Amino acid sequence: MFMGTLTAIVLLIFGLLLKRSLSEVPGKLQGWFEVIMEETLKIMDNVLGSRERSLQYFPIVFTIFLFVLVSNWMGLLPLSHVLVGEAPLFRAATSDLNFTIALAVMSVLAVNVLGAAAIGVSAHLNKFFVNPLRDPIGSFVGLLELVSEFVKIISFSFRLFGNVFAGEVLLTIVAFLVPYAVPLPFLFLEVFVGVIQAFIFAMLTLVFLGMSIVTHGEHSNEPLVHA
């Protein structure tokens, strides 16, 4: 909770500072962010099929990416010696399974809420609940879809937790056995892993969102398959 709150504060302060420095002639920092946002929107266009949808859902997807990314990187601060009891205070929030499960629940919940808002509550529920007497195969598929929603939470949370926690353990062991310069390559590797894990989490959210905002009949016509 401490590191998650600290991550949110860091992002808030950085966002406010970036907003105050915005100009029509972008500086280096603003230019980099504009490039990143434009490339993100292009990826979303391929998944969602239109720039209008991409702009609509960009805030939640990009916020998830930034939050997970900064959470991963916060665990790389050289402050692991600060302890609360026997636990390090400045460990990455994403190296705690409770945190990743909560994040996964919020992601899956947001996907379903936005899906229901896009196609209607009734149409969204029909993906999961079908009259077995009228369509037994569709009813079974709907049951599988419902189960898959809970599987997404497990997949989201354990993938992120496992990679970040394993990276922190690796850095701790290497720093203990061979301190100073030797851990640096592993540190840079974890910086890269943090980016990849944040990208995967955000992309999976995006793909599931793209599947949620269309009905079953539209899936075959969506450009989602080209993502």
Cα end-to-end distance, the chain, whole Å: 34
pTM: 0.81
Taking 80 as the threshold, does the pLDDT of residue 10 lie above it? yes
Domain boundaries, the chain: 2-18+34-226
* Distance of alpha carbon 82 from alpha carbon 86, whole angstroms: 10
Whether 74 and 93 have beta carbons less than 8 Å apart is answered as yes
- How many percent of the chain have pLDDT more than 90? 27
Alpha helices, DSSP H, located in 82-182 = 97-119, 121-125, 136-177
- 226 vs 110: which has the higher pLDDT: 110
State the pLDDT at residue 223: 46
Helix, strand, or coil (residue 217): helix
Instruction: Tell me how crowded residue 91 is: count the other CB atoms within 10 A of its CB.
Output: 21
Taking 90 as the threshold, does the pLDDT of residue 58 lie above it? yes
**pLDDT tens, position by position, 187-220:** 788 888 889 999 999 999 999 998 888 875 555 4
Residue 182's pLDDT band, with cuts at 50, 70 and 90, is low
Taking 60 as the threshold, does the pLDDT of residue 30 lie above it? yes
**pLDDT tens, position by position, 99-155:** 999 999 999 999 999 988 988 888 888 888 877 777 778 788 888 888 888 988 998
